[in-house]
Each structure stands twice: as C-alpha cells, then as structure tokens.
C-alpha cells in the first residue's frame, strides 16, 4: 500500500510515535466516515465547477465515493492499521480504483479541513437526533402528567415533607425542564450549521475555490467566512454541543434520582414491572432500579464533558494543534451515552406505576398546613397571626388538615397548563 498518510514524505515514522499520535483515532473515524464522503463529493463537484477537475474526473470521483458510502452504510468499510485515519483510507481507495483522478481529491484542502467539515456535519445530525429523542421523552412525560394529574404526591424541601404536589406536577416539571435543555441544543446546532470547508490548514487556499457552492451543496445554513475563525471552530463546536448534552443530562440525572428515591420502600410512590428491575444475588426480595441508577451515573459523567473539553482547549492559540484530535474521544462517546440514556428513560417510564393512596398515610397530614393556614387568611385573619396559630396547633398535636385544596393559578397542581407547555416546545422545533 502507499499514500497511507496524507502527510507522508517518504520517511518511515518511528512505530512508537505512530501508535502514540494515532491512538484510537481509527475507531472514532468510523463514526465520521460517511460525513467525510459527503464533504468529499461536494468538494469534487466544486473543483469541477472551477475547472480544476474535468467533468469526467468529477463523475469518477462521485461514483467512487458513492461506492465507499455504500460500504460504510453496510458495515463493510474498515480502517486497517496501515492507515492513519479515515481520510487517508478513503483517498487510498479512490486512488486504487481511479488512479490519478483519485489523487486529485485532496486538491485545495487539508486534512484539518476534512476533519472540521466532517465533524460539523456529524454534530449537526446527532444534534437533530438528540432533539428528536428528547421530544419523544417530553411527549411521554406530558402524557403521564395528564394521565395521573389528579393523584397527589408529597412535595419536599430540604428532604422534609413540605406541601402537596401531584404526579401531574412532577411529570410535567421534567417535561418543561427539557425545553430549557433544548435551547442549548438549538444554540449548539446554530454553531455547527456553519460550513468550514475551504479553510484548508486554517489560512485558505490559492485555488479560486467556491465556498458558497459547497455550503449550499452540504445544506449548511451559512458559511464560516473567516478561514482562521473556521479553524478555531475545531474544539469550540464540540464544546458547544457538550453544554447541550450536559444540560439534558442534568435533567435526566435529577429525574433518575427522584425515581430511585420514590421506588424505595420508605417512599413507595412508584413501581415498575419486575422485568424492568434487577434482583440481588443473595436477597430474593430485591427489585433494584439499576436502569435509573445507571442513567444517573452516566448523566453525572456527561455533566463533566464541557469542562473536559474546556481544559483541553483553554490555552491553545489560534491555528491547528494536534491536541484537537483528542476532542473526538470525549464528544463521540458522550453523544452515544446521552442517546442511550434518553432511550432507556423513555423505555422504562412508559411502564411506570404510580401509588394512588400515598397521602392516606397520616405522616403526610402536615403537607396541608399551608393550605389550612391560607384558609384562615382568606377568612380575614392576618397572615402572621394565622401562621403562629397553625404552628401552635401542630406543636400541641391538635392540627386538623384541610384536604379539599384548590390550587387554580397557572402552573399549580390544579392548573397544569400542559398545552401551554407543549406549545412552548413546538416553538423551538
């Protein structure tokens, strides 16, 4: 084989250096392989448009790249150890099939250029996928909120019994929180939706390339005009996405923690079919919330990803540096982990079972102290005086709760505003 490294000068690289600098990049590159092909097709067409390639060469390259794309789609494409990365493997395959036409695909671009545009395309698609999976979970949470809106649930502050809540409030709270997370996802998508192709090694090219053509061909919303700014987007676009991932992860982690607490026999608020729980090797009575514990753990890891990427790039000046190769090994697994967490949260929550008799336990009577106090205020008693009277009744054990509560303001347990929450979400799609 030859041309295994795009920068090869004919001098053998020390094997240890090769192993250290390549690392696990080949495996990660399989993820972006199809996007490198897409960008290469657009680049070949552009080279034809400006007269650097003949129409015949363009067609040969497009056909050859389409064949590689088919291999990628069918799982037949591999990057052997002889190749440094996906870009060198694709160029090798084109050259093997097409000869000199294959060698021309690298005209007017750099490997940095290829990684940049492939990552932008990859992140754009993954952001759209995450957005769709988040909406699927959102829809389920609103459905559960509507289904269980009349089932009361203890609300807690400081992990102390506080005020009445409901399953309607609980489920829809997490649904609306996901909207905030999607604002970050939309912002990351806007950052990714800028075409960096044509920046070459970060300083442009002396070829009269048509960057507007590739922007339209690759369906980017706009162009990253300044070539240095385009190169500086490497690491930055991944970090932008990481903040979106971390925001969703924070919501999922909190939800998972609630579920773990509520499944405990001490709470007994929710349960799941046995097939969605796991047992113990020695305790036959156990039904463990392993799925939600792992969602919690994975999502807590994900919340560290923005900081990881920040620390990798915090002291880098403008221009390309090999450090930037390492961002892939952080962001790619993070994307896969979040998608799995979203999928598993939806899979389990669709079968959640709620306890409809929670508040029959007298230990929850104090939940109604505020509503009972407010009734005295409505009848004309000053709030501070009513508060002191209620506190005295509780201390003396004479408190009689008023359980026929009526919360009517927007966003309360008697007025969930589910359709308003749904409308808010639809505005960002």
Residues annotated catalytic, as ranges: 158, 280
Full 3-state SS string of 305-362: HHHHHHHHHCCCCCCCCHHHHHHHHHHHHHHHHHHHHHHHHHHHHCCCEECCCHHHCH
**Rounded-to-integer distance, Cα 154 and Cα 364, Å:** 7
CA dist 133 and 126 (Å) reads 10
- Cβ-based neighbour number of residue 317 at 10 Å: 6
What is residue 288's DSSP assignment? B
User: Which run of H or of E encompasses 271?
Assistant: strand 270-271
Report helix angle 111-147 to 236-263, nearest 10.
30
DSSP structure class, residue 408: -
Beta bridge partners of 152: 166
Residues 120 and 194 sit within 8 Å (Cβ to Cβ) = yes
Compute how many other C-beta atoms are within 10 angstroms of the C-beta atom of residue 408: 8
CA distance 250 to 260: 15
CA–CA distance, 371 with 315 (Å, rounded to integer): 55
Cα 47 to Cα 55, 67, 112, 208, 220: the distances in Å are 10, 20, 18, 9, 19
E-state strands within 98-238: 152-157, 160-166, 194-195, 222-223
Please return the burial class of 309, using the count of CB atoms within 10 Å of its CB with bins 0-12, 13-18 and 19+: buried
Cα–Cα distance between 110 and 105 in angstroms, integer? 11
Dihedral sign (CA 228, 233, 235, 236)? positive
Give the CA distances from residue 376 to residues 165, 384, 386, 412, in Å, rounded to whole numbers and listed in that order: 21, 11, 6, 20
Q: Write down the residue that tokens 């308003």 correspond to.
A: 420
């Amino acid at each position: 084989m030859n041309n295994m490294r795009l920068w090869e000068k004919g001098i053998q690289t020390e094997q240890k250096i090769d192993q250290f600098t390549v690392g696990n990049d080949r495996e990660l590159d399989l993820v972006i392989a199809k996007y490198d092909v897409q960008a290469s097709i657009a680049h070949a067409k552009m080279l034809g448009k400006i007269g650097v390639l003949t129409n015949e060469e363009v067609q040969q390259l497009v056909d050859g790249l389409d064949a590689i794309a088919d291999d990628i789609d069918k799982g037949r494409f591999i990057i052997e150890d002889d190749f440094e990365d996906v870009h060198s493997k694709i160029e090798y395959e084109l050259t093997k099939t097409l000869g000199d036409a294959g060698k021309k695909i690298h005209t007017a671009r750099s490997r940095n250029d290829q990684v940049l545009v492939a990552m932008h395309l990859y992140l754009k698609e993954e952001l759209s996928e995450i957005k769709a999976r988040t909406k699927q979970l959102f829809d389920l949470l609103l459905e559960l909120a509507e289904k269980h809106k009349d089932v009361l649930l203890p609300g807690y502050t400081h992990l102390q019994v506080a005020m009445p809540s409901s399953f309607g409030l609980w489920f829809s709270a997490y649904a609306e929180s996901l909207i905030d997370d999607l604002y970050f996802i939309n912002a990351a998508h806007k950052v990714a939706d800028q075409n960096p192709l044509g920046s070459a090694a970060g300083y442009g090219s002396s070829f009269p390339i048509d960057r507007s053509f590739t922007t339209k061909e690759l369906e980017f919303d706009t162009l990253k005009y300044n070539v240095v700014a385009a190169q500086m987007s490497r690491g930055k676009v991944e970090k932008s996405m990481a903040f979106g991932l971390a925001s969703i992860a924070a919501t999922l982690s909190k939800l998972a923690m609630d579920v773990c607490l509520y499944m405990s026999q001490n709470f007994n608020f929710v349960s799941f079919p046995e097939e969605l729980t796991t047992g113990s090797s020695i305790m036959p009575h156990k039904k463990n919330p392993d799925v939600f514990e792992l969602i919690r753990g994975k999502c807590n890891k994900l919340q560290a990803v923005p900081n990881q990427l920040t620390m990798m790039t915090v002291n880098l000046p403008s221009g390309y540096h090999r450090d930037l190769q390492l961002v892939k090994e952080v962001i790619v697994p993070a994307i896969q982990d979040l998608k799995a967490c979203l999928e598993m949260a939806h899979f389990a929550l669709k079968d959640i079972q709620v306890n409809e008799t929670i508040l029959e336990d007298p230990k929850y009577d104090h939940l109604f102290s505020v509503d009972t106090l407010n009734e005295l205020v409505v009848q004309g008693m000053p709030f501070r005086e009513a508060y002191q009277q209620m506190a005295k009744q509780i201390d003396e054990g004479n408190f009689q709760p008023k359980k026929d509560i009526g919360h009517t303001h927007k966003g309360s347990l008697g007025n969930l505003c589910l359709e308003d929450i749904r409308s808010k979400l639809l505005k960002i799609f």
